[in-house]
A and B are shown apart, each in its own frame.
Chain A
C-alpha cells in the first residue's frame, strides 16, 4: 500500500535554531517527492519538488534531501524564524494514477 510517514509529529524549537524533519515513503513506482508548508487554516504552499535523480534541493533556508534507495527524505530548516511555524507536509507522487499521497505532516512551532 502506498504510504507516506513523517516524523516527528510535532516539534518545538527556539527562533534561530535549525531543525530537520523526516519523511519515509513506500510509494511505488515513484515519480517525485514534494515538501509543502501549510499555515493553519490555509492551503499548502510548495517548498521543493524532487525527482528520483535529485538528492538535494534548496529553497532559501529550506533544504530537502532525497534517498530514493532507502525511500527517505528530509527537510532541513536553517536559522528558523517565527514565521516558519506551520505544518510541513511530505507528499509523494506515483508514476501511475496521477494522485499525490500526503503524509500527516510535522507541526513545527518556533518560539522566541
Chain B
C-alpha cells in the first residue's frame, strides 16, 4: 500500500542550527502539507503546498521556515535557525485532492529535538 515516508525519524540539533526534514509523498498526490505536534499537545497546521507553491500557511510558519519540492518526489521543510520551542514531531501529509473534501495521509513523523 502506498505510504508517505519521512526522514530522519529523529534528529537532535543545537539551537541556531539549520534543519531539513524530508518527505516523500504518495506518488500520484498533488497536495502536500506539514504539521507539527509538540509533545502532549494538539497537531498544528504549518503549511500547505500545491502546484509548486505555498497555498496557505499558519502563524507558526514564520520566516524561519521554508518548504520546497526540489524534484518530482521529495517535499522538504527547512528550519533556518532552530529554537528550543521548535522541538516537536513534524508530520508530512499528502492528498490527491484538496483536503477540504479528500482523504489525507500522514507519514510517521520526524522527531526534532533542539538542545
Binding site for B on A (CB under 8 A): 31-32, 34, 41-46, 49, 89, 93-100, 102-105
Contact = CB atoms under 8 A, between A and B. Distances in A.
Contact of B109 (A43, A93, A100, A102): A43
Contacts of A105: 42
Contacts of B93: 43
Interface of B: 4, 41-45, 48, 55-56, 58, 89, 91, 93, 98-101, 103-109, 111
Given A31-B101, A98-B100, A99-B56, A89 B43 contact: yes
Max chain B CB contacts within 10 Å: which of A43, A89, A97, A99?
A43
A34 B48 CA distance: 18
Name, among B43, B93, B103, the residue most crowded by chain A CB atoms within 10 Å (CB to CB). B43
A92 to B, nearest CB: 11
B103 A46 contact: yes
Contacts, number: 54
Contacts of B108: 42-43
11 contacts: A32-B101, A34-B104, A41-B109, A41-B111, A43-B106, A44-B106, A93-B99, A97-B56, A99-B56, A99-B58, A100-B104
Given A98-B55, A98-B56, A44 B101 contact: no
A106 to B, nearest CB: 12
A89 B105 CA distance: 14
Given A43-B109, A98-B55, A102-B43, 7 more contacts: A41-B89, A43-B107, A43-B108, A44-B43, A93-B99, A96-B100, A104-B42
A31 B100 contact: yes
A61 B92 CA distance: 28
